[in-house]
Amino acid sequence: MTAKQPICTPLHHPLYQTTGDYSGDCLGISVLMEIDRAEIERVLAPTPFEFVAPYAWIEAYVYTTITGLAEYDETFGDYYGSTGVVLPVRYGDHVGGYYAHCFKNKDFGTAPGREAMGFPIKYATLKFQKTGRVVTSTAERSTARMNLSVILGESSAPATPPDEAVRNPHLLIQAIPEVERDEVMLQQIIKRDVSSSSSLKAVCGEPAVEFLPTEAGIDELAWLKGGKAVYGEYFSGLFRGSFGEVLHTSASPTLLRRLNAGAGGR
């Protein structure tokens, strides 16, 4: 009998089961911020993505149940959660949401999201709570701290976000580093659309964002502080993962030489 090959690095020490075929019950909030164009263009400068609109989505969600992702049933500790900042961008003919920041609190979600899909994931302590009409979320690490909140049933903002504030599908950069020098060995641009695979319903509310001082003295989210919260929503339902689609691949000359040498040796 042939053993099923694990999906992780290294192969002999499994961490997660899949990069896309998982699902769970999900609760979350999204806050749309209006941001100065210059700040967004500065964030996009090292990427292949183009500016679309002066907005940034800050979203936070937790899975109250999750199956198919971890190699075990995760029923203890804080709910598996994620917090991120998503920018409307363009890549060629594709328009979507680029994940500029992403924070997670469980390793079985961090590994496939970062190494396989290209989410820029860092570890953070994440909290999420819904009490009556008030939904709050916190994210805290040494280089980023913020509080999000949405009050349901109260909003001076429009009932729907602007059309140009695109957030799906996600546009991601998977970059695998070289081990012999500081350069990128392999880079892929990935499109991933969980909005079409999930069944989430949203209710609008009054949004608020609070950015707090960081311990490290470095604040990854400082560029957002001059923004204005213009729309908020609470969403819930079934979140189902999806596999990605590779839009572009580039390889370093070093990698190509290795591949050619290996092909010639067979």
Q: Examine residue 1 and state whether it is found in any structural domain, yes or no.
A: no
Give pLDDT tens digits for 49-59.
Answer: 999 999 999 99
Q: Examine residue 17 and state whether it is found in any structural domain, yes or no.
A: no
Q: Specify the number of domains making up the chain.
A: 1
Give pLDDT tens digits for 98-127.
Answer: 999 999 999 999 999 999 999 999 999 999
Q: Examine residue 201 and state whether it is found in any structural domain, yes or no.
A: yes
Q: Examine residue 121 and state whether it is found in any structural domain, yes or no.
A: yes
Give me the mean pLDDT over the 174-192 stretch. Answer: 95
CA 11 to chain centre: 25
- Determine the pLDDT at residue 131: 95
Tokens of 75: 């029923």
Contacts of 81 (CB under 8 A, 6+ apart): 60, 61, 62, 63, 104, 105, 106, 126, 128
- Residue 96 carries which side chain, given as an amino acid letter? G
* Inter-residue contact 169 to 149 (CB < 8 Å): no
Give me the mean pLDDT over the 222-243 stretch. Answer: 96
- Count Cβ neighbours within 10 Å for each residue of 116-131 and write b for 16 or more, e otherwise: bbbbbbbebebbbebe
Banded model confidence at residue 75, pLDDT cuts 50, 70, 90: confident
Q: Is the pLDDT of residue 174 over 90?
A: yes
Q: Examine residue 9 and state whether it is found in any structural domain, yes or no.
A: no
- Determine the pLDDT at residue 74: 83
Q: Examine residue 190 and state whether it is found in any structural domain, yes or no.
A: yes
What share of the chain has pLDDT > 90, as a percent?
Answer: 83
Domain harbouring 82, CATH code: 2.40.400.10
Q: Which of 17-21, 172-176, 247-251 is predicted with the least confidence, judged by mean pLDDT?
A: 17-21
Q: Which of 105-119, 151-165, 236-250 is predicted with the least confidence, judged by mean pLDDT?
A: 151-165
Give me the mean pLDDT over the 62-84 stretch. Answer: 92
- Determine the pLDDT at residue 4: 61
Radius of gyration (C-alpha) of the chain in whole angstroms: 19
Q: Examine residue 188 and state whether it is found in any structural domain, yes or no.
A: yes
Residue the block writes with tokens 């961490």: 15
Q: Is the pLDDT of residue 178 over 60?
A: yes
Q: How far apart are CA 136 and CA 234, in angstroms?
A: 10
Q: Examine residue 123 and state whether it is found in any structural domain, yes or no.
A: yes
Angle, CA 251 vertex, CA 17 and CA 95 arms, to 5°: 70
Residue 127 belongs to what domain range?
A: 23-264
Give the pTM: 0.93
DSSP-assigned states of every residue in 182-227: SSEEEEEEEEE-STTT-EEEEEEEEEEEEE---SSS--TTGGGTT-
Give me the mean pLDDT over the 20-47 stretch. Answer: 96
Q: How far apart are CA 98 and CA 52, in angstroms?
A: 11
Banded model confidence at residue 161, pLDDT cuts 50, 70, 90: very high
- Determine the pLDDT at residue 48: 97
What share of the chain has pLDDT > 70, as a percent?
Answer: 95
- Determine the pLDDT at residue 2: 55
Banded model confidence at residue 5, pLDDT cuts 50, 70, 90: low
